[in-house]
Structure 1
Amino acid sequence: MTTHRAGSVVFANVKKQFGTFTAIHDLTLDIEPGTLVTLLGPSGCGKTTTLRMLAGLEHPSSGRILIGGKDVTMLPANERDVSMVFQSYALFPHMSVLENVAYGLESSKMRKNEARERAEEGLKQVGLAGYGQRLPAELSGGQQQRVAVARALVLEPQVLLLDEPLSNLDARLRRRVRTEIRELQQRLGFTAVYVTHDQEEALAVSDRIIVMQDGVVAQQGSPRELYEAPASSFIADFIGEANVVPCEVLRSDGGQAIIRVGRLEHSVPGRSARPGPAKLAVRPNAITLEAAEAGAFPGSIRHAAYLGDHVEYEVETEAGTLFVVDPAVDRNLAPATNVSIGFHHRGIAIINN
């Protein structure tokens, strides 16, 4: 399998309607060759419709889609130079693993011997050399997933599309297979568009994440950018859990802002923060709990749950209930314990909407 055919993807003012319902509103995206970009969002946000339009399984109501600089807006799926890995894997149960991987090549009129050689190489690339004669039912879920990836990659598409590819695997296997997919993408350098509703999965595999909400792009950026600088309450809560509390921006200088929450003043990154009322996104592990002190930001433990390597707390405050993840497992703050709340310098961000 070669790597030089990685293609770019462009959505230019794409709109998709189903009757009177608008699923995608004026979508404009650029995906660079050789990157793995994830479409992330809750059910019904438009991510799967976007992927299906890229695959040629749906056509836009207006706008243009380009792959590798070529306008493919109205081309059928088999003329788009993309391959898709489905949620269900869609392996033929009566065919061997090798026959499954070679199927698309043989369907394109490639000689059988050459198709089998390419399929063997494809299995080797995904770590399944020697598994060619087995049936899909004889493989684990993770191995079946890799067969589906190999079958797509041997066609050497400009873009590989992955639709919720790990949703049928258990949690531990999902972690392993997502690592394998990411390592394979980086090693071979293909362009991948990956759809998931799982934010942890998106953070783990992506060069760039495009978060969708109600058919529009809510925010896009690197995993770190979205996690550390969410643009809205929706992003803050969707990309990792966050407490969103009201605050007041007192002043902003040199990329830092001084904010007040209750009676607590704190410095946070805030290059574009404007003085006045705002909201603060605070990650659960960015909150500190200490013995109650007069004049600080007070709270009271409502619920505590010991989870081995950390303790989860719900803390009642004047700004609402905060969810806290505390690594200090050697102490036990019982319900009704009064505490003083502080913030770390990482894991907090000002959001202005």
Structure 2
Amino acid sequence: MSLHLKPGSVVFENVTKKYGAVTAINDVSFTIEPGNLVTLLGPSGCGKTTTLRMIAGLEHPTSGRILIGGKDVTNLPATDRDVSMVFQSYALFPHMTVGENVAYGLSVSGLSKKEAAERAKEGLSLVGLEGYETRLPSELSGGQQQRVAVARALVLEPEVLLLDEPLSNLDAKLRRKVREEIRDLQQKLGLTAVYVTHDQEEALAVSDRIIVMNRSVIAQEGTPRELYETPASSFIADFIGDANLVEGEILDQDDTNANVRIDTLQCKLPHRGFSNGPTKVAIRPDSILLEQNNPEINGIKGNVTHASYLGNQIHYSVDSSLGELFVVDYRIDNAIAAGSDISITFATKGMSLIAS
């Protein structure tokens, strides 16, 4: 016996969700292709969890349509949707064995006890927990409990797997390990997965595409690289990757690039359709280069106000004519002490024009 997973698409068409006078989701549209892992990312209260719950059927839209696998499920209850959900708390039954937890949904749906147990065993094998059937959840680590929750969702053979902040209860080191396991499993099985998190690094690490939400709407959608390298707004630039937002001026441009002045420096950046004149520039922390005691460097003058050693990198706060800058420097053997005067230049990558 083997699991028969049939990945489906997810489509939102002009979906709005209101709770009385409060609009949680406002006219949201997107498409998730079969076999993709798409992350809903954003700050608390942005609408990402409400969106996930509407896919699950735990909430219903005030207006608009939701389709799963091409089928209109807008008004269908959760029990009639071909989706499975992994909850933040894992929601394992403490009095049941691991095998019984994984088999629970199958038994409730009418499968024989023997067949449910066989499917549960196969699901545990998929997540690397062969032989754990007779253990209790309390006998497992947090990461193992997480995998049991994933196995319980997978054995239902859903068109779409939903994951609601699945790593929030794990420590930092374990989070990295388990997110890699989830991503590997999703790619191996060709699952359609919708993943909710507020952790930018987590979203960048696991996603085919990311939908960034803010104030009940989609702020930007794209691949991890697109969002990091070409943020569409100051919100995206600041939310993903701690960008420094500075004032600049577009002097002139050709078909592709703009000649941009930032204080005393000039650089070429993709113009992105912006007009000549004042503009904003997002600069990644590791794209700001600091040099001390080098008269050959003709950069923007600044002063290091704070320096923090973090093992493989040093974080600097720098006071400059551009404002306070956050800088990440991997040259740990050439640390600059707080209070030092420095010259600021920019790397050739990690800078982007953005809308105000």
TM-score range with shorter-chain normalisation? over 0.9
| Residue aligning to 1:202 | 203
Q: Is the 8 A contact 2:272 2:353 kept in 1?
A: no
Rounded Cα–Cα distance in structure 2 between residues aligned with 1:271 and 1:23: 31
Q: Is the 8 A contact 1:37 1:206 kept in 2?
A: yes
- Deviation per CA, 1:292-326, whole angstroms, max 9, x where unpaired? 65853111111111222121111111110101111
Instruction: Establish whether residue 175 from structure 1 lines up as the match of residue 150 from structure 2.
Output: no
Change in Cα spacing, 1:4 to 1:151, as seen in structure 2 (3 Å) is closer
Amino acid of the residue matched to residue 308 of structure 1? G
| SS across alignment from 1:211 | strand
| Residue aligning to 1:235 | 236
List aligned pairs for 1:242-253, cutoff 5 A. 242-253=243-254
Instruction: Spell out structure 1 runs of 4+ moving beyond 6 A.
Output: none
Q: Give the TM-score normalised by structure 1.
A: 0.98
Q: Is the 8 A contact 1:228 1:348 kept in 2?
A: yes
Instruction: Establish whether residue 276 from structure 1 lines up as the match of residue 260 from structure 2.
Output: no
List aligned pairs for 1:117-266, cutoff 5 A. 117-266=118-267
Q: Is the 8 A contact 1:252 1:273 kept in 2?
A: no
| SS across alignment from 1:274 | coil
Rounded Cα–Cα distance in structure 2 between residues aligned with 1:224 and 1:57: 32
| Residue aligning to 1:50 | 51
The percent identity for this pair of structures is 65
Residue correspondences, number:
353
Q: Is the 8 A contact 1:5 1:156 kept in 2?
A: yes
Rounded Cα–Cα distance in structure 2 between residues aligned with 1:127 and 1:56: 30
| Residue aligning to 2:317 | 314
Structure 1 residue runs of 5 or longer lacking an equivalent are none
Q: 1:343 aligns with which of 337, 343, 346?
A: 346
Rounded Cα–Cα distance in structure 2 between residues aligned with 1:32 and 1:6: 9
- Deviation per CA, 1:61-84, whole angstroms, max 9, x where unpaired? 011100001111111100011000
| Residue aligning to 2:304 | 301
- Deviation per CA, 1:180-212, whole angstroms, max 9, x where unpaired? 000000000110000000000000000000000
Aligned alpha-carbon RMSD (Å): 1.2
Q: Which is worse superposed, 266-275 or 144-153?
A: 266-275
TM-superposed CA distance for 1:268, in Å, is 2.2
Q: Give the TM-score normalised by structure 2.
A: 0.97
Q: Is the 8 A contact 2:298 2:343 kept in 1?
A: no
| SS across alignment from 1:187 | helix
Rounded Cα–Cα distance in structure 1 between residues aligned with 2:52 and 2:350: 32
TM-superposed CA distance for 1:3, in Å, is 5.4
TM-superposed CA distance for 1:4, in Å, is 4.8
Q: Is the 8 A contact 1:261 1:297 kept in 2?
A: no
TM-superposed CA distance for 1:269, in Å, is 2.9
Rounded Cα–Cα distance in structure 2 between residues aligned with 1:48 and 1:166: 15
Amino acid of the residue matched to residue 147 of structure 2? R
Amino acid of the residue matched to residue 142 of structure 2? G
Rounded Cα–Cα distance in structure 2 between residues aligned with 1:236 and 1:61: 31
TM-superposed CA distance for 1:267, in Å, is 1.7
Rounded Cα–Cα distance in structure 1 between residues aligned with 2:21 and 2:267: 48
Structure 2 residue runs of 5 or longer lacking an equivalent are none
Rounded Cα–Cα distance in structure 1 between residues aligned with 2:82 and 2:338: 59
TM-superposed CA distance for 1:265, in Å, is 0.7
| SS across alignment from 1:301 | strand
| Residue aligning to 1:101 | 102
